Structure 1
Amino acid sequence: MNVTLPTAESLRSALAGLLDGLPPKQAAQAVDRLIASYRGTTPTDAPVLRDRSDVAAYAAYRMPATFEAVRSALAALCDAAPEWVPATHTDIGGGTGAASWAVAGAWEGPATTVLDWAEPALELGRELAGLSGVPALRGARWEKARIGAALELAPTDLVTVSYVLKELTELARTELVDVAAAAAQAVVIVEPGTPDGYARIIEARDRLIAAGLTVAAPCPHSAACPIEPGTDWCHFSARVSRSSLHRRVKGGSLSHEDEKFSYVVATRFPVLPVAARVIRKPQIRKGQVLLELCTRDEGLARSTVTKRHGELYRAARDIAWGDAWPPADTE
């Protein structure tokens, strides 16, 4: 039986169908307010999405980028544990469900529960899921819950927490990560690819390790991050195709954008992390490729791959930021 799996294109189509007629001026104003909120430095400890217009603007503005960022993190989990398939999934602070769309695209049929404190977001997410044509999404449960302190989670295979920690106080962040670690077999946390987003990921990573989980990605190990605090930050990039609706709401003219994000994946089951990961965009020069790597045994390292490396050089010319190194078929 052929089962429909969600794609970036199907998400854009569902958004276009649901948000057709959204007044551009109203949407633009809501987006401006949301941008100011998300880029601010003070945790809100309250829902950022207040009403239907906020949620509609958010969905058009953020869902495609969140989908691509989470999909990248899930792909790294699949690479580290190719035989593992979650039967249940809880999307904490899932809002309109972008992470749940990504999960439904990575594995066929996990039973998903989306938790969020903004009822308008849950309502729109439920409508979008109904337009998806994907059984797992259409059967998802959408439940209102206060995210952060005192959140109770039933045992689940997979927990996703995407672009949520920024909205919480420090205490609520730590409690949320601890609850996720206790409930799940695998935890995927995604934050903006900024210095403060990376700092929240490192904080969460440390707590997940302390709770007994093993880092599956992006790091090649569960030891301390080799980046000296304050000198740099680990982040990655996902290409996001813009629909006409997306361009209209965000005021952009390009057909795509690059979403910068930081993430951590940790599990309670055995995984095989990569030997090294490309942590910056590869620099292609005449006859050579310069790679910035995070390695399992040597920490941060730079590698220059030249033509004399033959097959490895050809692989390096095709390698992308965030990929494993060396590729499995060249080892």
Structure 2
Amino acid sequence: MNDPVAPADTLRTALAGLLDGLPPRQAAAAVERLIASYRGATPTHAPILRDRADVVAYAAYRMPATFEAVHAALEAFADAAPAWAPDSHIDVGGGTGAATWAVTATWSGRRPVTVLDWAEPALALGREIAAAHPDLHDVRWQRSRIGAALSLESTDLITISYVLNELAENDRATLVDATASAAQAVVIVEPGTPDGYTRVIEARDRLITAGFHIAAPCPHSAACPITPGSDWCHFSTRVSRSSLHRQVKGGSLPYEDEKFAYVAATRFPTTPAPARIVRKPQIRKGQVILDLCETDPGLARTTVTKRHGDLYKAARDADWGDAWPPAEG
């Protein structure tokens, strides 16, 4: 796997360069309008990203967070399948290509990649940004409506990130079924909200019905042990904030935490985590409290104390979303 720092830094530099010449107020106004559109409860029937100004502003604002969320999901997947790497990749609804950057940050080298999206300005900008990374020079950027009529070629990996919210329920189901027919591995990422989690679980269930095995985050391919409506499974990753982030959201912190829900599923055998930390660890004097989803399947809380020696040290260093216990070596 690659060091994720270099692609992330390259991406941030490329995005910062795009904002040159775009008035800050115009960029901020575009982001605020686009956020309102993306948060709407009604699926859209036209591209949300309408022109270059829209795309530049939203890419600068959202691509780093999407990159980090997808990369975190891919890393968990890669840990469950350490001997596997995709020889081909399709990014459905990929827009400016954040997930494509995340894939190349996880597995090195060039591979045939196709990014499908309805918004031509997003694809054009994605092609422009990808010129900054040598592994992304040969990506095919293809305009295609994402929905029931979408046709997918056979491929090793399909990513679908922050897309399902834009589709009607029937279109979501059809897309997941088409993805299951075309791919050896599927990674779906949605916002870390109750609704985002529900969409991920719906997709997870359809993939399992289609014969897939869950590689991450779940330690099993049985039903999710969370009682519907009582809670939701999601994770968090840290994102460096740009000046545009600070201008739109206010505040001075150099980072923010992106909450996301995801599922990674495969047609080939993997080794899922023995358990997954599903909440931020609670570090207290002499002990660490971990909330786990376990292979059994079920949810459990465990307390690791100083008496556990090296395991206690590992628990103090553990992050939300990590496998537990940590792999040796």
| Length-normalised TM-score, structure 1 | 0.95
Q: Distance in 2 between matches of 1:42 and 1:6?
A: 37
Tell me the alpha carbon deviations over residues 79-125 of structure 1, each in whole angstroms, 9 at most, x when there is no partner: 00001011100000000000000011111222211000000000000
Asked whether 1:156 is paired with 2:155, we answer yes
The more displaced of 246-255 and 167-176 is 246-255
Cα 1:167–1:4 change in 2 (3 A) is closer
Q: How many residues in Structure 1 have an aligned counterpart in Structure 2?
A: 327
- Contact kept, 8 Å, 2:222 with 2:297, in 1: the verdict is no
Give, as a single letter, the amino acid of the residue that structure 2 aligns with 1:34.
L
Partner of 1:129: 130
**C-alpha separation in 2, matches of 1:244 and 1:5:** 20
Distance 2:100 2:155 in 1: 14
Determine the C-alpha separation between the residues in 2 that align with 1:296 and 1:33: 43
Alpha carbons of structure 1 residues 200 and 90: separation in structure 2 relative to 1, 3 Å: same
Of 79-88 and 104-113, deviating more is 104-113
Matched-pair contact (CA < 8 Å) for 2:179–2:186 = yes
**1:165 aligns to what?**
164
The verdict on how the C-alpha distance between 1:268 and 1:148 changes in structure 2, with shifts beyond 3 A counting, is same
Three-state SS of the structure 1 residue aligned to 2:328 is helix
Q: Which amino acid aligns with 1:80?
A: A
Q: What's the offset of the Cα at 1:204? A: 0.3
Matches of 1:257 and 1:5, distance apart in 2: 17
Q: CA deviation at 1:7?
A: 1.9
Please give the alpha-carbon distance, in whole angstroms, between the structure 2 residues aligned to 1:266 and 1:198. Answer: 16
Q: d(CA) in 2 for partners of 1:320 and 1:186?
A: 25
How many angstroms does 1:49 deviate by? 1.0
Residue 105 of structure 2 is aligned to residue 102 of structure 1:
no
User: Which residue matches 2:293?
Assistant: 294
- Whether contact under 8 Å (1:57, 1:249) holds in the other structure is no
Query: What displacement does 1:252 show?
Result: 4.3
3-state secondary structure, aligned to 1:186: strand
SS in 2 for 1:20: coil
- Partners of 1:293 and 1:3 lie apart in 2 by 28
Q: TM-score of the superposition, structure 2-length normalised?
A: 0.96
- Deviation sequence 1:3-54 (CA, Å, 0-9, x none): 9995211110010112212111111111111111122211113321111111
For 2:98 and 2:146, locate their aligned partners in 1 and report how far apart those are by CA, in whole Å. Answer: 17
Q: Quick one: which amino acid aligns to residue 116 of structure 1?
A: D
CA contact (8 A) 2:28 2:244 kept: no
SS in 2 for 1:328: coil
Root-mean-square deviation (Å): 1.7
One-letter code of the match for 1:56? V
Q: Does 1:50 align with 2:50?
A: yes
**Could you tell me which residue of structure 2 aligns to residue 73 of structure 1?**
73
Q: AA paired with 1:138? A: H
Structure 2: distance between partners of 1:72 and 1:45 = 30
Structure 1 unaligned regions, length at least 5? none
Q: In the alignment, residue 152 of structure 2 is paired with which amino acid?
A: L
- Alpha-carbon distance in 2 for matches of 1:103, 1:40: 28
Give the structure 1 partner of residue 13 of structure 2: 13
Q: Which residue type is aligned with residue 116 of structure 2?
A: L
Find the aligned partners of 1:3 and 1:82 in 2 and give their Cα distance. Answer: 15
Aligned counterpart, 1:116: 117
Note the residue ranges of structure 2 that are not aligned, 5 or more in a row.
none
Query: Residue type of the partner of 1:119?
Result: E
Percent identity reads: 71
